[in-house]
Chain A
Amino acid sequence: MSREHWVVIGNGPAGNAAAVTLRKFVTDARITLIGEENIPEYRCNLLPDFIAGALREEDLFCTPIQRFREMDIKLRLGQKVTDVAFERGELKLAHNEVVRFTGMIIACGSTPSIPERLGMFRDLMLPLKTLGDAKRWIEKLARVDSVFVAGGDLTSLCFTRALLALRKRVMFMLCPDSFWPIPLSSEVRRSCSARLEERGVEVLDCAKIENLTRLSEDSVEVKTDAGSLVVGAVGAFFGLVPNVRFLARTGLDLERGILVDEYLRTCVENVYAAGDCAQVYHPGIRAYWVSIGCPNATEQGRIAAMNLMGGSLSLDVPQENIFEVDGIKVNTSWWMEL
């Protein structure tokens, strides 16, 4: 009998939890964890603290690589899956390598979204999703005093807190996109603005960016629907989109993310999805919802792994308005530690 080869795509909290859970219960299967970044799993929710100088880089990392060696989990970092042929049990990596598998957990996370109309200004805006992004922010903030933040999601709020700790001038534009899937109601806008202003943030009375112009290496003119201003840097926090483009023609059911049932099963046998990239069916509301946050991702990774090994665990029903920051309940399209 051939040995099982379970592949986990994604080196975030869901992927790591899945791989570790698989190994915990099955010792003789091959387990491969493929991550696009060149570095081991880190706590991306702590990146704002890293930018603020409250944490060292080494404090961000979760599990030492040695631990994976000990657990006999093959960690393949800096490698990108570009295609999957589920019917043949094969995936293809960007460098034209074919890896065969008998089961898969997709936990490929999400990537910062830039609205299409702002795509041409991509180079003038900095997101904050990866350690690389954080390092670019640290480099930039050493040279600039003011930052325009377009956002409203949890990351942008935590990042703003870091900027304030660094005594930077922050101009904030609340973006409806950042609050997906909840509409940015006037009530939420009002309470968010009030809280931000209390902290010294200038909340701008505008709703969209119309144009960005680079004036110099560290100076950008931002033209909004309410006027223009010049800032040192522009932060883009328009929410996240699941990294599922590579699965587009593979036969998986996709919408915004990978559609899975409450057991995190996809439409393909022995293939599960967990974390930011999964849209989980909610039997109570008879609709799909998107899970966010490190703890949720970790739990989903664990459940997906248990079910791949033959279990039948279902995901708990999510609460409405999960997150609360500084007393404000925020619906967000990203993560946080609860």
Chain B
Amino acid sequence: MPGVDVTVEVCGMAGDGTIAAGGMINDAMSHGGFSVLGFDSYPAEIRGFGRCVTRSRVGDREIRALDEATHVLISLNDEESKSRVPVLTRDCVVLFDSNPPVLVEEDRSLVAILDPETRLFPMPFGDLAAAAAGTQRGRNLVALGGFAAVCGADPELFREAIRAKFKAKSQSVLQANLKSFDAGYAYALEKFHDRLLTMFASADLPKGPEKVMLSGNMAIGKAALDAGLKLYFGYPITPATPIMEYLARELPKRGGAVVQMEDEISSIGAVLGASYAGKRAMTATSGPGFALMTELITHGVMAEIPAVILNAQRGGPSTGLPTKTEQSDLHAAVFGGPGDSYRIVIAPTNVTECYYYTVKSFQLAEKYQTPVIVLTDFYLDNRVENVPMPEAREEDVRDGNIYPNVSAGEPYKRYLRTESGISPRSIPGQAGLQFTATGLEHTERGKPDYSARNHMEMSAKRFRKIQGALADLPEPEEYAPDGPLSVGVIGWGSTFGSALEAVLAARERGLRVGALKITSLYPYHEAAIRKFTSRCEEVLIPELNYSGQLISLIGRLCRKEAIPLNLATGEPFPPSLIRKKIEELAEAGAQ
């Protein structure tokens, strides 16, 4: 029996309730036991105009990426939905408003450009909502009712999702929304009784732990709380703002504080100050804000102050594409800033990793006394996945600082040159210790010293320290059969899910291919990467940037020139594009 793998889109104008409808599809299907990956695309402007699209991939097995083909489109605004036609499957199900308030000209009509094989389900969304609840505001709920009926989803799952969504609202609001949903459900059942589908009926759902819907941003916020964050300093910016919003709500309950600063420079400055004082502190930003932070990040490197900085990448450079995804800050994260300012850069690839890597970043920052940059992107931050609720272990949140042995009797040197490069760290207030922190090059005792020998030795110490962090950084993970591979795909960040889907699909077609996931971007595990690339005939590195930033970082570890596959479309990487390239390379290699 074929499994369930359905991509559902809701498309409308800002204000149509598009994002809310998509969220309820995610919640309902997740509650029904399906795997769900959802992603919203919305305009950069605040409200009132612009296209909103939610995409939800629902399946009965693990889902790692969005599929580019859409099987069901719920159109809340036909003109906006026209842009979605290229991604619709030919036999796509389309639910649309059959009674829009004004006549639609053919050249502005969605239906006019759909393929004749499209399965159309016209429903008077607004009329049904008005009849059921006295207002057309519930037309998105009517559409959801139609979707549940037409596609064979359990309506009770949606009712539960609606109750959860509107639990904080008045009873009358909840009832109006439930009535609108029921009106759409009943209408579709009757009107389309001879065309109803059973898209979700064949699901063979695996039993497993209870799952929750989490976005990357939510996972990061929860991770920071669980890791014992005390202070968050930030300045709002898409796509990182939801982290600040979440923490502003939750952190005070745990005795912490969120402070909105006047800009990103002051944000990172405050984080360094709090960390210097021994408190766990972080900030989250995106490309433009990260650029402003650069100088103070290098100050953290030089003064050896812990800091956790989340860079939620978006399309750039400059203000760029605020609500589009990209992986183009890798070089800025690894190399950005003056001097040899090595720092730790890690990049989760899914929502669960967003949690665990954020938790880990606090310990890493403390132990290695350095800024740790967690690199995510718009797609990873805003997508939702249903996952078992991540929980940090006690040892993951434990204090990572290596404190000086004050009983040794020797004078304390804040920047002691050790074999590991880690100097035991003093916290202001500890008796008998000094608390120097300086951005000037300095001696072991923290006094300014610009001599050639000292700069060489201290640069080497800092470099050694960061390289030593590899012992605590996650190893690359291989998803490959033993032996030689015709093509090996190396992925990072949100692109890895697409890469793995592509590799698994290619393998199902009999190709001998594998994938390597790299989450430690600096420092990186050279030996493990070489071990993988040495058995690949070709190495393919897909990235959501124009220039191929990872390939320029690790390309030298391939035995022959790695092949870039770059997209700068602002959209998530389509697995099919990677699969096609794999097949092309495998075919060329076989000839």
Contacts and interface: CB of A to CB of B under 8 A. Distances in A.
Interface of A: 38, 40, 65, 68, 75-79, 92-100, 132, 135-136
Contact of B122 (A75, A76, A94, A100): A94
A89 B455 CA distance: 84
Given A76-B112, A135-B194, A95 B106 contact: no
Contacts of B58: none
Given A96-B103, A97-B103, A76 B98 contact: no
B195 A38 contact: yes
Nearest to A139: B194
A297 to B, nearest CB: 21
A99 B117 CA distance: 20
A79 B120 contact: yes
Nearest to B119: A38
A97 B109 contact: yes
B117 A96 contact: no
Contact of A98 (B96, B99, B105, B117): B105
Nearest to A94: B98
Contacts of A76: 111-112, 116
Contacts of B105: 97-98
The interface residues of chain A, by DSSP majority, are classed as mixed
Interface in B462-497: none
A98 B103 contact: yes
Nearest to B114: A76
Contacts of A38: 119-120, 195
Interface of B: 96-100, 102-106, 109, 111-112, 116-117, 119-120, 122, 194-195
Given A78-B120, A95-B122, A99-B112, 9 more contacts: A65-B117, A76-B116, A77-B120, A79-B111, A92-B103, A93-B111, A95-B100, A95-B104, A97-B109
Nearest to A79: B111
A96 B102 contact: yes
B256 to A, nearest CB: 53
A96 B112 contact: no
A75 B116 contact: yes
Contacts of B194: 132, 135-136
B193 to A, nearest CB: 10
A93 B112 CA distance: 10
Contacts of B98: 94-96
A185 B96 CA distance: 51
B116 A97 contact: no
Contacts of A78: 119-120
A77 B116 contact: yes
Contact of B116 (A40, A96, A132): A40
A95 B116 contact: no
Contacts of A98: 103-106
A94 B121 CA distance: 12
Contacts of A95: 96-100, 104, 111, 122
Given A76-B112, A132-B194, A135-B194, A97 B106 contact: yes
Contacts of B97: 95
Contacts of B122: 94-95
A68 B115 CA distance: 11
Closest A-B pairs by Cβ, 5 of them: A75-B116, A78-B120, A95-B98, A97-B109, A99-B106
B100 A68 contact: no
A16 to B, nearest CB: 13
B195 A97 contact: no
Nearest to A65: B116
B106 A100 contact: yes
Contacts of B119: 38, 78
Contacts of A136: 194
A315 to B, nearest CB: 30
Contacts of A77: 116, 120
B190 to A, nearest CB: 13
A70 to B, nearest CB: 13
Contacts of B112: 76, 97, 99
A68 B103 contact: no
A65 B109 CA distance: 21
A96 B106 contact: no
B80 to A, nearest CB: 16
A99 B103 CA distance: 10
A106 B99 CA distance: 24
A74 to B, nearest CB: 8
Contacts of A68: 116
Contacts of B109: 97
Nearest to B124: A95
26 contacts: A38-B120, A40-B116, A65-B116, A75-B116, A76-B111, A76-B112, A77-B120, A79-B111, A94-B98, A94-B122, A95-B96, A95-B100, A95-B122, A96-B99, A96-B100, A96-B103, A96-B104, A97-B103, A97-B105, A97-B106, A97-B111, A98-B103, A99-B106, A100-B106, A135-B194, A136-B194
A78 B104 CA distance: 17
A111 to B, nearest CB: 16
A68 B119 CA distance: 17
Contacts of A79: 111, 120
Most chain B CB inside 10 Å of its own CB: which residue of A40, A65, A76: A76
B130 to A, nearest CB: 16
Nearest to A131: B194
A324 B117 CA distance: 37
Most chain B CB inside 10 Å of its own CB: which residue of A65, A76, A95, A136: A95
Contacts of A99: 106, 112
A76 B112 CA distance: 7
Most chain A CB inside 10 Å of its own CB: which residue of B96, B100, B105, B116: B116
A95 B121 CA distance: 11
Contacts of A94: 98, 122
B375 to A, nearest CB: 45
B180 to A, nearest CB: 20
Contacts of B117: 65
Contacts of B104: 95-98
A98 B104 CA distance: 6
A121 to B, nearest CB: 19
A132 B192 CA distance: 11
A71 B116 CA distance: 14
A37 to B, nearest CB: 11
A288 to B, nearest CB: 34
Contacts of B100: 95-96
